[in-house]
Structure 1
Amino acid sequence: MKIVLIGGSGHIGSYLIPKLVHAGHKVLNISRGQSKPYKEDNLWREVENIVLNRDNEPNGEFERKIAAINADIVIDLINFSLADTKNMVEALKNTNLSHFLYCSSIWAHGKSTTLPILEDQPRFPLDEYGIDKAKSEAFLHDLYRKEGFPETVIMPGQISGAGWVIINPVGNLDVSVFKKIQRGEKIAIPNFGMETLHHVHADDVAQVFFQAISHRNSALGESFHAVGSQSITLLGYAQALYRWFGHEENIDFLPWNEWCDYTKDKEHIEKTYLHIVRSGHFSIEKGKRLINYCPRHTLLETVFESVTFLSKNNWLEK
C-alpha cells in the first residue's frame, strides 16, 4: 500500500512510520522539513520525505497536492479545522483512496459526564481546538454513513514519551515542577488533587493508527481512543514521582484561586485549567474489541521514561 502521512515527523509519526515501513508499505512523509523524528530508526531511510506546508497552500491547494499523490491510505495528523477536513475530503474523493485516518483528540469530548468515557457519547467541547476536532469527527462519520467515505478517527490522550516536555502533576508544561520534585521540595496542587490526566506513550498512539489500518473493515466509520489503560490523579502522579526520585511526598493543596495566585504565570494557569476541567477516564474497550489494540506501556512507565529523558538531557538542571 502507498501511505501518505501528513505531519509524520512529530510525536506520533516518529513511531508510526517505522511500523508501516516494516509492514511493507511504501510511505511518504509530508512535513514542513523543520524537524527530525523523535526516535531514530534505520527504516526512515526507506521513507520518501516531501516538504509541504499547509499554511502556505491556501484555497485547498495543499489538499489537491496530497490527492495528486494518489495514495491508498492518507493519515492526517495535523488537521485542526473543519474547513481543512472538508477540503481534504473533497480532494481525495476521486483518487484511489481506500482509508482516511483523521487525528482528533480526547479534548473533543470536553467535560466528563459518565465514566468511563465512551467514544460515541455526547460531546461538550470547551475551546476552539476541541470544538473543531468534534466538528470534523462528526462531519467524517456523517459522510461515511451517507456516502461510504472510508474514514476512521483516532483520539489521542496526553501524548508522552522521550524527547519533549510532558504534562506535569499540576496539569501544565512548567518544568520547574519536575525540578522541585526531583529535589524533594514542596509543590502546590490545585484543589484536592483529584482531577485526572491520561498520559499515553506515543508508541501506543501509533499502535492504534496501525491497528486501524490492519483491521480496516472493523475500523471504518468508527472513533477510537488512543490512550493507555489507566488515568491518574494529580495527587497520585505527584506521589509516584516523589517516590521515584527517592523522596517523601511534599505537597500543598490550594483552592483554585489561591493556586492561581501562587502560580502567577497565566499560560501555566490556562493550561492547567484546560486539562483538569476535562478530567476523566477514557475507555479503550472498543479498540480492544474491534482492532485488537493492546497498550504496550503503562502510564507510569511512560511518565518515568519521559522524565528520565528530561533528567539525562539536563532539562531539569538549575
Structure 2
Amino acid sequence: MKVIVIGGSGHIGTYLVPMLVNNGYEVTNITRGQHKPYEDNSGWDKVKSIVLDRKSEDFEKNIAEQNADIVIDLINFNINDTVNIAEALKKTNCKHYLYCSSCWARGLADCLPFKSGEETGTPLCAYGKDKLASERYLCEQYKQNGFPATCIRPGQISGAGWDIISPWGNLSKEPFKRIAKGEEIYLPNFGMETIHHVHAYDVAQVFYNAVTYRENALGEVFEAACGASVTLYGYAKLMYEFFGKEPEIKFLSWDKWCEYEGNAEECEHTYLHIARSGCYDIEKEKQLLNYKPKYTNIETIKLAVQSYIDRGLI
C-alpha cells in the first residue's frame, strides 16, 4: 500500500517511516528539505522524498495527486489546513487519514489520569484550540460522511538528539547544568505539577498500530503516551541522582519563581506545560491498537539527558 507521511523527517517520522518501510509499505516523505531524521536507518534508502511547503497554494492538490492509500499528517497546526487537506483527499483513493493532534488540545484537568480521547475544558493557547478544532472537524466528517480519519495526541515528545522539557517545565538546559554541578535549584510552587515525557518511538508506534488496526482506529482519538508522568520535584530529584549529587531543591511562589528563572518566554512555556499537569490513561490504546510502550518516561528522560552529555551540552 502507498503511504504519504507529511513531515516525516522529524521526531515522529524518524521512527515511523522505517516502521512502515520495513513492513512492506511504499512510503513517500513530504518534506521542506530542512531536516534529516534524528537516527540513521537503512529503511530510508527505500523512501521517496518530495520537497513541498504547506504554505504553497497547490500543496493539497499535490498531495491529492499522489493518490495514496494512507496519509499521515504530522505537521498540521491550523484548522483551515485540516479542512483543506480533508476536502482534497475525499476526491482520491485515500482509505485512512491520520492526524497528529497534541495533548495541548486539552484544558485544565479535573481528575487524573485523563481518559483517552475525552475533552477537558478550553485549551490554554491558540495552538491547542486549533488542534481541538481539527479533531472535532475530523470526527464529525467520519460520523457524517465516512471520511476515514484518526486523531492521535502525543504527550511531550522526547528522546536522544533534541531538546526535552526540563524540571523547570520548559526547554531550558540551565537546571540540568546546575544539578550536574551539585548546585541548588528552585522549582515553582511546591513542585507537584506533572510533566509527561513520551519517547518518539512510542508515538510512532501508536501511528503505526493505528494503520495496522484501521477498523478499530477510524473515527477515534487516541493518546500517544507512556502511561505515567513525573512531578517537577520527582524529576529534579531524579536528575540529582543521575548526576551523583545530593538533592538541593527549594521552592518559590509562581511570581517569585518567574523572577528567578528570568526569561519571560521560557516562563510562558512553563505555564503552558504545568498548568495542565497531564497524565494519560492508555488502556484504550492497549485494547484497540495493541499498543505496548517500549520506554517508560524515566527511561526516556535518562536517554535524552545522556544525549545532552554526549553532545557536550551539559
What displacement does 1:208 show?
A: 0.2
C-alpha separation in 1, matches of 2:118 and 2:185? 37
What displacement does 1:202 show?
A: 0.2
C-alpha separation in 2, matches of 1:87 and 1:69? 16
Match of 1:177 in 2: 175
C-alpha separation in 2, matches of 1:259 and 1:69? 51
Match of 1:15 in 2: 15
Match of 1:74 in 2: 71
Unaligned runs of 5+ in 1: none
SS of the equivalent of 1:248 reads: coil
Instruction: Name the TM-score, length of structure 1 as normaliser.
Output: 0.97
What displacement does 1:315 show?
A: 1.0
Contact 2:109 2:120 in 1 (8 A): no
After superposition, the C-alpha distances for 1:252-303 in whole angstroms (9 at most, x for unaligned) are: 1000011011111111111101111111211111101111111000111000
C-alpha separation in 1, matches of 2:121 and 2:233? 27
After superposition, the C-alpha distances for 1:220-267 in whole angstroms (9 at most, x for unaligned) are: 000110011211100001111110111111111000011011111111
Contact 1:161 1:306 in 2 (8 A): yes
Deviates more, 1:122-131 or 1:237-246: 122-131
C-alpha separation in 1, matches of 2:121 and 2:221? 13
Match of 2:88 in 1: 91
Q: Output aligned runs, 1:17-56, within 5 Å.
A: 17-55=17-55
What displacement does 1:122 show?
A: 3.6
Confirm or deny that 1:289 pairs with 2:291. no
Match of 1:256 in 2: 254
Q: Output aligned runs, 1:183-194, within 5 Å.
A: 183-194=181-192
Unaligned runs of 5+ in 2: none
Letter in 2 for 1:309: S
SS of the equivalent of 2:312 reads: coil
Q: Output aligned runs, 1:131-210, within 5 Å.
A: 131-210=129-208
Letter in 2 for 1:48: K
- Report the RMSD for the aligned CA atoms in angstroms: 0.8
SS of the equivalent of 2:11 reads: coil
Deviates more, 1:181-190 or 1:70-79: 181-190
C-alpha separation in 2, matches of 1:293 and 1:202? 14
C-alpha separation in 1, matches of 2:301 and 2:156? 11
C-alpha separation in 1, matches of 2:227 and 2:179? 25
After superposition, the C-alpha distances for 1:116-152 in whole angstroms (9 at most, x for unaligned) are: 1111244421110000000000000001000110000
C-alpha separation in 1, matches of 2:75 and 2:310? 30
Instruction: Name the TM-score, length of structure 2 as normaliser.
Output: 0.98
- Give the length in aligned residue pairs: 313
Match of 2:110 in 1: 113
Match of 2:267 in 1: 269
C-alpha separation in 1, matches of 2:111 and 2:190? 20
C-alpha separation in 2, matches of 1:305 and 1:87? 38
